């Protein structure tokens, strides 16, 4: 364990202790438990566990990819900012946002994040291992990623799919569930930049 992890703020340590007591025995494997605890800590919602889904071995494969140098690709600058400090302190993972590749204006019948994802994946998807992808706000970007994979592009090492909202969100999560991709998913309308960051930060903490 790295030295900084032995110096967690007492409030964080006490929060996690109380969360574990409140959650009780979940039966989750270690990494999945870590993700759940960080999500609850970030949201203050002890009931998120009922919405949380993991594909088999997703956390382990995502962690392995990060340890092998996989970059992290987010749909928003907010998510990237929330991940960057932990990425730097742990593995030094590169953190990108699709907005780096997005046009200044949204294309007709699309969004800037969707267009950015299409361009970003043409470049970052060729890396080995491919990026861990975080979607907390943009179901359109998630849809574009899945479409590209269906057309033969490399699959991401892990998708953390937690877009928040009411338009296109349920559909994108259903498509992700059926995609066969390694994934951590939050059902329903809940999600957001803070939650996808919390999930990958749990893996980053466990990586060292």
- For 83-134, give the DSSP string: HHHHHHHTT---EEEGGGG--SSPPTTS-HHHHHHHHHHHHHTTSSSPPEEE
| Residue 42 covered by a domain | no
| Residue 31 covered by a domain | no
Spell out the residues 6+ positions from residue 101 whose beta carbon is closer than 8 angstroms to its own: 115, 116, 117, 119, 120, 123
Please report the sign of the dihedral spanned by the C-alpha atoms of residue 44, residue 36, residue 19, residue 28: positive
Q: Pick the catalytic residue: 9, 41, 96, 175?
A: 41
- Quote the domain boundaries for residue 147: 50-206
Q: Is 96 a catalytic residue?
A: no
Tally the domains of the chain.
1
| Residue 84 covered by a domain | yes
| Residue 26 covered by a domain | no
Scanning the chain, the segments in alpha helix (DSSP H) are 10-23, 30-43, 58-67, 77-89, 112-124, 139-150, 169-179, 193-206
* pLDDT value of residue 3: 46
Q: pLDDT of the chain along its 208 residues, tens only?
A: 454 455 688 999 999 999 999 999 999 999 999 999 999 999 999 999 999 999 999 999 999 999 999 999 999 999 999 999 999 999 999 999 999 999 999 999 999 999 999 999 999 999 999 999 999 999 999 999 999 999 999 999 999 999 999 999 999 999 999 999 999 999 999 999 999 999 999 999 999 8
| Residue 170 covered by a domain | yes
- Bridge partners of 132, per DSSP, are 72, 158
CATH code of residue 143: 3.40.50.10230
| Residue 27 covered by a domain | no
Element (H or E) spanning 73, and its range? Answer: strand 72-74
What backbone torsions phi and psi does residue 134 show, to the nearest 5 degrees? -115, 120
């Amino acid at each position: 364990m790295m030295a900084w992890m032995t110096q967690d703020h007492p409030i964080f340590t006490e929060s996690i202790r109380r969360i574990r007591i409140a959650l009780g025995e979940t039966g989750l494997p270690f990494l999945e438990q870590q993700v759940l605890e960080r999500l609850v800590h970030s949201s203050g919602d002890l009931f998120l566990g009922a919405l949380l889904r993991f594909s088999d071995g997703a956390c382990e494969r995502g962690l392995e990819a990060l340890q092998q140098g996989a970059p992290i690709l987010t749909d928003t600058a907010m998510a990237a900012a929330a991940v960057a400090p932990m990425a730097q302190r742990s593995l030094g993972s590169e953190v990108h946002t699709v907005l780096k590749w997005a046009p200044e204006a949204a294309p007709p019948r699309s969004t800037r994040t969707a267009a950015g994802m299409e361009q970003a994946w043409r470049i970052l998807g060729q890396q080995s291992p491919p990026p861990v992808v975080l979607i907390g706000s943009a179901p359109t970007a998630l849809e574009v990623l899945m479409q590209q994979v269906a057309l033969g592009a490399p699959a991401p090492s892990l998708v953390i799919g937690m877009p928040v909202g009411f338009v296109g969100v349920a559909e994108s999560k259903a498509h992700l569930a059926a995609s066969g991709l390694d994934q951590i998913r939050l059902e329903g309308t809940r999600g957001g930049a803070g939650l996808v960051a919390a999930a990958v930060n749990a893996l980053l903490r466990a990586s060292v």
